[in-house]
Structure 1
Amino acid sequence: MDITRRALFLGGFVALAGGALAAGAVLRPRQLAPARVYSERGLAIRGTDPVAYFTEGRPRAGDPSITHLWTGATWAFVTAENRDRFAAEPTAYAPQYGGFCAWAVAAKGQLFSTQPENWAIVDGKLYLNFNDDVQATWDADRAGFISLGDMRWPEIVAET
């Protein structure tokens, strides 16, 4: 009888833990690890502070004296506070697809450069695009392009 109760208790605990993990997965959006990062001369996203998109709602050029090295690229920040936020949780602030053009990753399965002014935050994630025209195309079906980009990104990274 004790074994049966113990088995029921453990089974219930495992079910609750599994449910909690599943709920956690729903509450925390999946962040795709940027195995590759778009950079020019080693500087990620053209020296734009990735945290500023979230805190100020706009791109801001980072200070070249306030940087952090992550994924083989140097990231620049407006303030030391932004740098520290990024350093503590880089995947929360770094652009998806390593800062490469979100539309090109989704639509072409290729890596294109981006402009800091062509951006959007969707479901707490930063996406960058090549230019105004590409941004407008991507904006017309963000969910579709994100879904396709999320599927293609691991394949693109594996090939490069």
Structure 2
Amino acid sequence: MPTRRNILAGLGAFALAPAARAASPMIFTDQGAAILGFDTVSYFANGGPIAGNPENALMWKDAVWRFASDANREAFEANPRAYAPQFGGYCAYAVSQGFLTTTDPKIWHIVNGKLYLIHSHPMDREWMRDPEANIVRAEANWPSVLYG
């Protein structure tokens, strides 16, 4: 029968083991929906975000992607990497600075054919000071920033 001393000794070894760091999900979601439920294809096809329909959705990278139309869903299915926001939909400026934060789907930019989402207007002002340099920094930080 184990004694209190044996149990405590076993727990001590466990307590000294290095703690595993939890990783953030690869895709930022709110209750499972990417881009807060906005249609990612709409940024390219409609010139801005349109709310997606929960009945017109699909799963990709453990996130639900909603679309305003069958055509947009089909375009995404054919080439999701062409439409998905960079850095998993996390704030591109925050990733450039080495951390993660949520995004406002209505604050966005398309640079060289890629979608970048930003958290807030103040962060957007910082992003716009030098988008190309921010992209380079964010790419250097991605995906290791997920484990930070």
User: TM-score, normalised to structure 1's length?
Assistant: 0.75
CA distance in 2, matches of 1:140, 1:128: 15
Tell me, which stretches of 5 or more residues in structure 1 are unaligned? 1-34
% same residue: 40
Q: Offset at 1:140? A: 1.4
Question: Counterpart amino acid of 1:93?
Answer: Y
CA distance in 2, matches of 1:103, 1:71: 22
**Aligned residue runs from structure 1 range 77-116, under 5 A:** 77-107=67-97, 109-116=98-105
Q: Offset at 1:136? A: 1.5
CA distance in 2, matches of 1:154, 1:41: 22
Aligned CA RMSD, in angstroms, stands at 1.1
The correspondence for 1:138, drawn from 127, 134, 146, is: 127
Runs of 4+ in 1 over 3 A off after TM superposition: none
CA distance in 2, matches of 1:154, 1:92: 18
Tell me, which stretches of 5 or more residues in structure 2 are unaligned? 1-24
Tell me if structure 1 keeps the 8 A contact 2:87–2:143: no
Structure with greater proportional helix content = 1
CA distance in 2, matches of 1:67, 1:155: 29
User: TM-score, normalised to structure 2's length?
Assistant: 0.81
* Aligned twin of 1:18: none
The correspondence for 1:53, drawn from 39, 43, 50, is: 43
**Aligned residue runs from structure 1 range 5-24, under 5 A:** none
Tell me if structure 1 keeps the 8 A contact 2:33–2:63: yes
CA distance in 1, matches of 2:133, 2:29: 26
1:76 and 2:76 aligned: no
Q: Offset at 1:152? A: 0.5
**Aligned residue runs from structure 1 range 32-47, under 5 A:** 36-47=26-37
Deviation per CA, 1:5-51, whole angstroms, max 9, x where unpaired? xxxxxxxxxxxxxxxxxxxxxxxxxxxxxx70010110001000000
* Aligned twin of 1:27: none
CA distance in 1, matches of 2:126, 2:26: 24
* Aligned twin of 1:16: none
Structure with greater proportional strand content = 2
Deviation per CA, 1:59-108, whole angstroms, max 9, x where unpaired? 1100111001000000000001100100110000000000000000001x
